Structure 1
């Protein structure tokens, strides 16, 4: 998905959130044949695509509902079942199912490329080069066709504007005396976005593990997911936070006393990739789902929900910046993949989770 280089700015090596656990039914699947890479448009019509499609995701429940409803308008004969939770918990479920002999998911839509790189190394993904990839920047597409980014989500500073009168401009605000006991962040043990942030920031000059030790010394609260973080700031329970941008923009649009800041040092970015499981039981429906998410209609839906689209030619929604408008902090994706478990262990040792 990304060019393997550790540039700190502009390279767009990036890679989604979220909050609260939920399950819609118990998915099941049987093994099918592995798809071969495909670059020509899918010639199947909606009338020929049917059956059950099992979808694992870390998207918020309301967003999942909207996505499935839009997909079903085009493919009414596909019954979509979904399981949603934080990316790290979804990944744990996949690993448990794989050990039991049968991964039940057909399609995955999870936080970041590091997650998909791990699954790719385990040979759990199916190569599919959707025709829609021609409109997706190559930096966000796995060259082997195992996954592709679906949106752009930056982790930013968020504040309660009733509590914080002077908006901060630096990540150092979270380790300053002004934010002592009043800051909050998501846990990398639950959130894929948070795990990605830990991996990137600890490998970035000016941050490292000392930054996280500073957060601990400042008594930052660590909760499960980004949704819980945003809720605490919106309610005035906390004043400062590290959280994904789109959640803050949504809440601000509702009139809540919150605002988001893209810090001057830059921001880590994830792209919530989508991919098909190797042993999908419904390959036609899985490919149709990927095509829809990456299509112009799918990307306009994402923008309407409040995400910055990844597809060229579709602007960011009100309240968010396009990726060309802010500085990106990135790191070598292969190193992040190799170090994720060790990073989470180190985080746990510091924060005692």
Structure 2
């Protein structure tokens, strides 16, 4: 009798152990990382996230990008920004436009105007916008176009944009990729996803841990003008965003002089920025759109001004690659740690 009771107990314990093992195994199998990729905004995107339901959100993400293009893409003739750039002085806009406008106003003020999305006329005049130019603008043309540059000449009243002149032209490309990253991040978080990494054209937002249970490792590129890609440093993101701006990848060659003309503009001069900075990487626990905008502003203002402003932001980490006395040098914030 006792032996029967013991045998029954052993069977029950064995069955219980199988159930526990099964539960543990299932829970491990349920946490999978989806990996999505594609093309958007003239570049590529990559998304990784853990989801116990193993749901593929590709269609939802594509829908987010489509809505953003209809609002902010200068390459879509019917977008809200194209309507404004085609001569409208007043236009009711959507939430995407409102969000990017408010962010731009904030960075415009904090950078003393070095970040200014009303440089659209200059971008086109120098051959970097949707309306290409085969020649460089003259000084007189630049002086004339500068009257339409200045983010203090545009305002937001509720959900309506008001321009002082119909000739003012917006260009939000300096923060569009970062903002797109944020849209995807906010969408994933609305689905209860806590571990993810989103990258659009090098601008990145990371939350939680990767599939190995570690913080996400991110590489900072060397400034190679020959088109090759190699890493200068590797760091990790702890619920942060990173954006890098550099003149080494996007430029055009003057057909007459053969000189490289950089795509980063100085809103104060109306010309491509001629600074000692080759690359500016910005890391902070804020939106990717924000670090994207600061990276662009830092490139326009140059090394010393950029370093001074970066130090005022205690939660911001930066990595600058710059030229001094014909020598390549680097600067990293004290709190910025690298992976060996």
Please report the TM-score for the alignment, with normalisation by the length of structure 2. 0.25
| RCO comparison, higher one (Cα < 8 Å, 6+) | 1
Judging by fraction of residues, say which structure has more strand. 2
> TM-score scaled to structure 1, two decimals?
0.25
